[in-house]
Structure 1
């Protein structure tokens, strides 16, 4: 019998709308996460334009892995992620962006304070913040290894003024100034969701967030999917297609056990 689509509880939906974020621990099993982690590490060793590196040469992020890797193709259409976001938006979704952020041990660099929707609006022509960030932990995310920091309720302020920072790191970003961040933190504080591999974090496109460098021996790989409402497709893309996708077809979810079956087939091949 096919599993029923995953749905959030009323309390979870309320928390998301109020705080701007929601964390679902242990959404994926250790077996499912293990194959994703292994294939992410293999992707980082490739020489592709989709893979951005820190100034040190360590991997920073790998874009569009779902277009050239089977495990991440399955993850990109997994019902445990698609179902809750369709529930929140009330319509079908397409993949606006897909990336695997490395935050490598010792060398993982900072991600400055920013809003993602500000970038999607300015660089991609996205009409409204009806796109959702989904983050799947591939490593344990701890308080010490550069966890994502969120400013609760900051999504209520809409799109904030930002400057285009092209110097701090290897990746250009629309960032917020210190006075704005200070004001928002005084109102909402800062949270840093942590947890075991397999947890999933979802947060609003206007939620202000960032992360500190990772100077520990513990890597912090996280897959980020941006699921956009089909009616909210981008209108004026300026970035490469592998950063801001132009395929607006609704995602057709795979079977709930698809990733598990893939993991077991890969293990059998290796034996």
Structure 2
């Protein structure tokens, strides 16, 4: 199993300069199988935490770590908590947890945006000392709506944005075309791809988005938004299952906890 230890000096340098880092094969096939199965079961539920595309296909499921054991273990996994604690130099709490779907044929666009823009405007987060760390549950390919990042765009701070409440079912603070064009001229675009079990981490101000998925290949990604405890939100406007109010520091579970859970489930099913 890779990526059990701390980030290397080279990895830290890439994150500092480029604003993102990809860690392949962070979770093993047993762990990913149980998470993928549980995600599909959650999407089939009728809960307020589950948002759907205008087509009815699942778009995102919030706060699964609060009502599902597999995702609770993932949300406190040392392979995810450790690297972010290393970068921020303090303990973390879970600001947001979501399982994003990009359904086959119907997965819709995520417009160009910065995550911290939303956390600051909607939740009252003081500084961009939070980041998303994303776990691939399906293979992310160049063709099935991968996340596109603009390297080094985090250096521009928090950019002016408009509140788009009409393009998709999910309201988002988005950037205009001229700003995106200027940033791309400076930094280009990358679209990290990889097998299930890979992990992508990126700065809260890194500009990113994704195109619709018109292929037969779905892609599910779990996002943990990990925030430094001292940077907890001050004036939330969204439901607490979207922007959590529990600022308790995360205590990591044992490294094999998710594998053990997957094996227990498999034995029970047999």
Runs of 4+ in 1 over 6 A off after TM superposition: none
Aligned residue in 2 for 1:110: 109
Cα distance in 1 between the residues matched to 2:187 and 2:155: 11
Structure 1: where are the runs of 5+ without partners?
A: none
Shift, 1:6, TM fit: 2.7
Question: Which secondary structure state, in structure 2, belongs to the residue aligned with residue 239 of structure 1?
Answer: coil
Structure 2: where are the runs of 5+ without partners?
A: none
Aligned residue in 1 for 2:42: 43
Question: Which secondary structure state, in structure 2, belongs to the residue aligned with residue 95 of structure 1?
Answer: strand
1:102-251 equivalences under 5 Å are: 102-251=101-250
Could you list the per-position Cα deviations for residues 100-152 of structure 1 after superposition, in whole angstroms to 9, with x for gaps in the alignment? 00100000000000000000000000000000110000000000000000000
Aligned residue in 1 for 2:32: 33
Cα distance in 2 between the residues matched to 1:209 and 1:12: 20
TM-score, normalised to structure 1's length? 0.98
Question: Which secondary structure state, in structure 1, belongs to the residue aligned with residue 98 of structure 2?
Answer: strand
Cα distance in 1 between the residues matched to 2:227 and 2:166: 29
Shift, 1:193, TM fit: 0.1
Aligned residue in 1 for 2:83: 84
Shift, 1:204, TM fit: 0.1
Aligned residue in 2 for 1:268: 267
Question: Measured at CA, do residues 136 and 237 of structure 1 come closer, stay the same or move farther in structure 2, by a change above 3 Å?
Answer: same
Question: Which secondary structure state, in structure 1, belongs to the residue aligned with residue 118 of structure 2?
Answer: helix
Could you list the per-position Cα deviations for residues 216-236 of structure 1 after superposition, in whole angstroms to 9, with x for gaps in the alignment? 000000000100000000000
TM-score, normalised to structure 2's length? 0.99
Aligned residue in 1 for 2:72: 73
Cα distance in 1 between the residues matched to 2:255 and 2:42: 24
Judge which range, 5-14 or 137-146, deviates more.
Answer: 5-14
Cα distance in 2 between the residues matched to 1:138 and 1:187: 31
Aligned residue in 2 for 1:53: 52
Contact 1:97 1:227 in 2 (8 A): yes
Question: Which secondary structure state, in structure 2, belongs to the residue aligned with residue 34 of structure 1?
Answer: helix
Aligned length: 268
Cα distance in 1 between the residues matched to 2:192 and 2:4: 25
Cα distance in 2 between the residues matched to 1:166 and 1:213: 17
Shift, 1:254, TM fit: 0.1
Could you list the per-position Cα deviations for residues 226-264 of structure 1 after superposition, in whole angstroms to 9, with x for gaps in the alignment? 000000000000000000000000000000000000000
Could you list the per-position Cα deviations for residues 76-96 of structure 1 after superposition, in whole angstroms to 9, with x for gaps in the alignment? 000000001000000000000
